[in-house]
Structure 1
Amino acid sequence: MYADKREPQRNVISMNNAMDALEQALASQKKFILVHQSNAPRKTMLEEIMSLADIDSENLSQASHQDVRLKELNMDDQKLLAIQGFLRDVYEICLNIEDVQNLTVKAIIELESQCVDSNFEENHGIASYFPALYSDELLYTTDMFSLPTLASSATHNTIDMSKPYLCIVPGVEGYYGRFTELCKRLKLPAIALQPGLDHPKETFKELASRYINALEKKSALHNNFYLLGYERGVLIALEMVAILESKGLTGTVFCVGGTPTEVVEDFRNNLKDYKNKEHLQMAVLKHAYSLATKEDPSVLDSLPKNLDWPNKLVECMDRMRGKFQYSIEYTKKWINYLYTQLSSSLENTYEMKKMNSQIISLRPKYITSIDTSLENCSNKKIITYQLESSLPTTHLNMKCATIINSHLDRAILEIYNHRNICHTYSLSNDDVTAD
């Protein structure tokens, strides 16, 4: 298989397209395959099926033809078999010939909507850091949460912390749920640390120290540790490394977000539309109002002017009263936490410390050039991976799990390869997620 080198660099195919091309090439009977970037728009499932049937799809897509079945189009068996194979090979939909014949135009359109996530929208501004207000107050305020991975059963809420595990330090959101998809592909157990809502003004050092103390209580500090910091969690994870190394421990830290300088700069770029703290405060209140009530937050435009933040928060809560399902205390704490974290993230800087642990940078797609400040932070060579996704969606990039697995110790991979694949179940009521 050859890539067309005559194409300019900007038209180089993506990794996903390259893998698709490789799979099709291996399945074909041809000796040589030429792969090139196509500028043609992607066909819908309906268009592909109508193309296989030699039928014009434009007329069928009209509302008056939505209930037309394929068997009414007088297709021969060969075309029906081609459509059956297309659905199986491309969309992994297995139907018998009778079901294929009974497919309507409307059913085909609905099938595609279920198979292809076409409504994905990347959040911006405050929503990229706080996309939701989570209803489970206890889970949001739990200091430690174990996540299901390939190496630990999803039905068991506790892990053996005397063995190697990945410790995840979340970003400004402070919630474990962002990492569930990433962890599903990891080859070692994982836990997520959560800051809770009761310490909104603590510094990175103070939060790192609190995390270390929580791990120490569970006798979970070991040499050759694995830490992962996401977004602002990169700064906190590096502080944790400094504390751990002062105790004589070293390990590996994955910086999902790049360098501290890049993370802080991303905050500033993402929130640059808020010219001062008053603008940021109103934006936070409106964002929280819309998440909690699902209503238009413009009602907050009539808030009295010149109020300080605590009084603005009280006024906002009064206007939200009776419109949301969460407890008043939890919602108020969450909104205050949201504003405090965002405002401090705009002001904070990070002082680089020399360390002996291995730093692996998973750099999202930034508009700026690569920052090399981490080179002065470690005695070991920094390993950097350039990702194609932006920071708010990096946790959904499956390449992250592959990178993490590739840097695990051989002994951990041996344990994974020889693991018991039977599901385990907790029989004791004493097993809990965290203290």
Structure 2
Amino acid sequence: MASLSRRLLLTATASALFVTATACGSAVNTADGSSSDGVITLSMHNPDSKTQDPATWQLVQEFNAEHPDMKIKLEGQPVDQHEQRMTIAAQSGTLPEIFWVYDSLAKTMVKSGDLLDLTPILEENGLKAKFAPSMLAGFQQGGMQYGVPYQALITGFYYNKAILDEHRIAVPETFEDLLAAVKKLKAAGVVPIAQGANNSSFSVWAFLTMLDRFGYEAEYPKILSGEARYDNADFLRLYEHVRELAEAGAFPANMNTQTYAQAVASYTAGKAAFLDAGVWEAAKIQQSEVGPSTGFWAGPTFSDGVGEQRLVMNVPSAPFVVSAKVKEDKEKYAAVKAFIQFYYSDAGQKILVDNAQPPVTTYRPQVDSTKNPVFAAVLAEAAKPGWTSPKAQPDLVVSAATASAMYDSFYGVMGGSLSPEEAAGNVQKTIK
């Protein structure tokens, strides 16, 4: 899920939709190996799933091999173009049979009657029992199960143990620990945290988790209803802490000009101590020169935070949804049902795990920590005793405009172009 420009690049997962309908209607790439005359189309948020989302690509290939009479055509575009294209397709009644979409847009489509209720499909063959309730609860509305989780989002900081050991820095636990580590690394000429804002402002996953440590999950429904404001005193304290990190030199000098992919490359080249990312980067990091010395950390706790501090982001990313029109075609409905059953079977979830993605069902993977220590470290952090997860990543429960403003607010404070008050105020302006 790496290009979670996806997700997410899950997620996760991007900027507000400022592309034209013409641009969105073009350049839809069909992934290598998919059927050009598939019974149904799976439309994704990656122009090249084979390299950017190999787990989904492999799942489709294996499904097609096992179901030659139900072949799936796999296609995709960059996330912002994909979102705009799905919006236009919903308006014109030309949605693909199954597709990835941000949850905020999915909820709008539910209100318009564009999506299929997946409850009957989940009730077949005991499929619903394979999910923890939290993995499905976020994609329900008005008694309807309109979506199923595409992948799981586990996010935080990767860290280079060799760099930390060289400078006699313990893996941080608290914000004070992180701030002290940043100052020590900066003084030694080491980039503390790899970040890249250029065309990838969504890459603030660890900071979104910090927002939950200041009460976001309990507060956001009131913020969206107008009972409370985003620029409240609690959230402002977090933004002040982000400014403290920035002033201590936490972020690279070229943060605003480098992309997220370049930030990842700087980490895998051993040029940064920490990387703000998620589980989708585990395989790439494992294969890099820093793989043997990489660990994973859920992020700092805050003495002045709000509510539970022992939080690790381990949530369903944006959902797969199905066009309501599928029910009108028995052949297409059968193909969609078969694919969903396959995707969430143990065999399907094993394909996710084999591609360094955590399962979204109760399937228990066997991960060899000697062969895949980075992926194993991510899973271990997500399952740390006494730690819990929010129900959803903060940007996935608001509109695209608000999510985009949230990303820009963090990068604005990191880069010094916005004060904490301006940053939080800009997010509030998008909430109507």
Quick check: TM above 0.5? no
- Quick check: which has more Rg, 1 or 2? 1
**TM-score scaled by length of structure 1:** 0.27
**TM-score scaled by length of structure 2:** 0.27
Q: Which has the higher contact order (CA 8 A, sep 6+)?
A: 2
